[in-house]
Amino acid sequence: MATSDEVHIGKGDWLFLLQGTNNVSSQYVRSPAAQFFLIHWRLIISARERRLRDLGIPYKHVLMPEKITIYDHLLDGLAIDWRLSPAFRLIYEDEYYKLFPFRRLNIPKYISRNRRWRSTLIDLITPMRRQRDLQNLFYRTDSHLSFAGRMLAYREICRAVGAEPVRDFEERPALYHPGWAGDLGMGFVPPRYEGTMLHDLQRDAVRVYANPIVAHRERRASEGTLHTGAHVIYRNERARDPRCVMLFGDSYANFAPIGLTIMLAETFRELHFIWSTQLDFGYIERIRPDLVLTEMSERFVFRPSTDDWDFEGYVRQRYGAELAAGSDDGPDP
């Protein structure tokens, strides 16, 4: 059962992730460690942008805000300063240093004189905080974005990359679930439920590839357990935007029919989705997409990245035994 140290029950029974594997609430602090990770990610983003620019490929990085960062006014008795969120500090460097009591570390000269990393970032915090009281941008019982939140993120991405957004997502088939429980609600006994609309957004995009672990778990009806290592490709002959886009993302970009990946697959002629917060430059150089997007939850700012990553090697190492031993006769018990 979820405890108060793991999940906070806020106003109106809104649930907030506090702990988890990334110890979310502890990231909203002033510390030299936090400052180190901010500099680290500015270096990573700058290096990615420069390397992809040398290949002639535009690059944008999307930071998905935590629910705490957007709906801090619903925390009900829990004092967390949203301005200390990793995403806000990473995007708005100057505002962060106004709040920061420590002496600045020696920032590498490349970062101090080059601000390309800032124009590479897509800010979702400002528009989300502006819209938070007009619509629920997150599910009450889940740590992820609601349909309204995904629509906002999708439109901001389209605006940043010069794409015309699909206009009829709200009109596509949707089913109301009166007793739906998200990842936070499922941690309680009994689970905490909410009513929500789930939209089936996939219409024109056709999935033309799924790597073995995706196909294997889908055959076993356990696609909900997919994580880092999933890889799918969509083609959309009816898309107005002819570009091939490569998206590296996490659960916020899930390729379920309701997810952000499908929204982008409905927008561009070709979309490659790889579930990872690191880039596989070997794969990028083989495909030569017209645009590379990375989507990352802000809680992962406190994880280092090197981008010297072999995606296929990782998949073989992590899932090789499962694929070799697993049966496709039916779902897991």
DSSP 5-71: TTEEE-GGG-EEE--TTTTGGGGSS--HHHHHHHHHHHHHHHHHHHHHHHTT--EEEEEEPPHHHH-
Tens digits of residue pLDDT in 186-236: 999 999 999 998 999 999 999 999 999 999 988 988 888 888 999 999 999
What pLDDT tens digit does each residue of the chain (333 aa) get? 555 568 899 999 999 988 755 567 778 888 888 888 888 998 999 999 999 999 999 999 999 999 999 999 999 888 889 999 989 988 886 554 555 444 444 444 544 445 666 789 999 999 999 999 999 999 999 999 999 999 999 999 999 999 999 999 999 999 999 988 999 999 999 999 999 989 999 999 999 999 999 999 889 888 888 889 999 999 999 999 999 999 999 999 988 889 999 999 999 999 999 999 999 999 999 999 999 999 999 988 888 888 888 888 889 998 999 888 865 544 443
Angle formed at CA 267 by CA 262 and CA 270, multiple of 5 degrees: 80
Q: Would you state the pLDDT for residue 2?
A: 54
Quote the CA–CA distance of 66 and 86 in Å, as a whole number: 9
**End-to-end CA, the chain:** 22
Q: Give the contacts of 133 (CB within 8 A, at least 6 positions apart).
A: none
* Three-state SS at 73: helix
Residue boundaries of the structural domains of the chain: 7-325
Quote the CA–CA distance of 266 and 235 in Å, as a whole number: 9
State phi, psi for 207 to the nearest 5 degrees: -80, 120
Do residues 161 and 264 touch, judged by C-beta distance below 8 A? no
Which H helix or E strand runs over 121? Answer: strand 121-122
Closest residue by Cα to residue 235 from 202, 257, 212: 202
DSSP 128: H
Quote the CA–CA distance of 252 and 117 in Å, as a whole number: 22
Alpha helices in 181-310 (DSSP H): 212-219, 260-265, 281-287
DSSP 190: S
State phi, psi for 298 to the nearest 5 degrees: -65, -20
Angle formed at CA 153 by CA 78 and CA 157, multiple of 5 degrees: 140
